[in-house]
Structure 1
Amino acid sequence: MLFAAAATVAAANGGGASAGSGALAPTEPRTPGLRSPDAGFARDMAVHHQQAVEMSFIVRDRTQDEAVRTLAYDIANTQANQRGMLLGWLDLWGLPKVVADEPPMAWMRAASGGGDGPAGHDGHGGHGGRAADPASGALMPGMATKEELERLGTASGRDAEVLFLQLMTDHHKGGVAMAEGCAQQCGTPVEKALAQGMVDAQRSELTLMADMLKQRGAAPRG
């Protein structure tokens, strides 16, 4: 679909300027830059989604509860597909999937006034959500630590269900903050639309997970 859209735009622009005097040549859609919010979000959210998929597969094998297994399947399927789209856009833009000297979430810092330029350029800014701790493996808001993933992998039954729902609640809250940042700052319409779709879907799942935790006599971690 992306390639078809690009071909359509290219065809529309192929005629160049009109023969009339003073006519301006149409401009082609600008490819996002290496450190643009569009590229930064694609790279970071691909990593963020990968952990959600991992946690979903873990809990699938740690409980027989159909409600939790269905939720885990839905999250894994949705976020794996979205991750593929994000990585596909980076390929389409000719941009790397990893930038060695780029701290996670650098693209969002302009949102808090940390950069001199407007959001969508190379400014840097902050992000909301639970503080990230690179040493623990939690690179971005809401991501589980290595220790938490290990605990999930050894839990079973209700304990696994509650821990998964709590970890995924944190994960979704962080993901919503990131997606809201792209919806506000990204310049690529299709990516902005995907980000807003993530916000809407994950907010709905947050409500569902709060109810599921309550049914198990538990609550989100805070």
Structure 2
Amino acid sequence: MAKQLDYHAIREIFSRFQAAEPEPEGELEHVNVYTLLVAVALSAQATDAGVNKATRKLFAIADTPQKMLDLGLDGLTGHIKTIGLFRQKAKNVMKLSEILVAQYDGEVPSSRAALQALPGVGRKTANVVLNMWWGQPAQAVDTHIFRVGNRTGIAPGKTVDAVERAIEDNVPADFQRHAHHWLILHGRYTCKARKPLCRTCIIRDLCPYEDKTV
């Protein structure tokens, strides 16, 4: 775990991220907030690419909670069987769809508490939906963000919750909305787990990571 960077270094890092990618976007394909919720729930322990491949045909026929219920558990399972833990995920999607229809008139709620009360929806999933759909500065910490936060000293922490709080506390307010996307993309394509691409990293000079690759 790297030492916490100071405010000026963090501001410079996010200024560079912003210059390189002014409007970063998540890579999960969706057509509305319901399909975004389902896609994020399905992405746990799976790749975005794998989820997208499975959901393209699914969302073409089931893009609302009621249409998902009409498709049925077996129909949903058939579409997502290439995704890890697909049986349990299918059950969760059907249950959350039932709740959305019964309690929210088929609409996805915009509060974290209501989202987290849905089957298969944890804090990270809720934060992704809040950020990507409603533009809230919610920080969804995945393995990429956890790694980058600790390696760079932007948001060091021993737990996911600690890193989330560190991002909220340390990243300047004007970068909060897109912070988690910049960090995910940096972790996915540059600051990789085994062999980070330090040679081409745009924040190399600001990063205190001791085991930089050459």
Q: With structure 2 as the length reference, what TM-score do the two structures score?
A: 0.24
Larger radius of gyration: 1
Which structure carries more relative contact order (alpha carbon 8 Å, separation 6+)? 2
Q: With structure 1 as the length reference, what TM-score do the two structures score?
A: 0.24
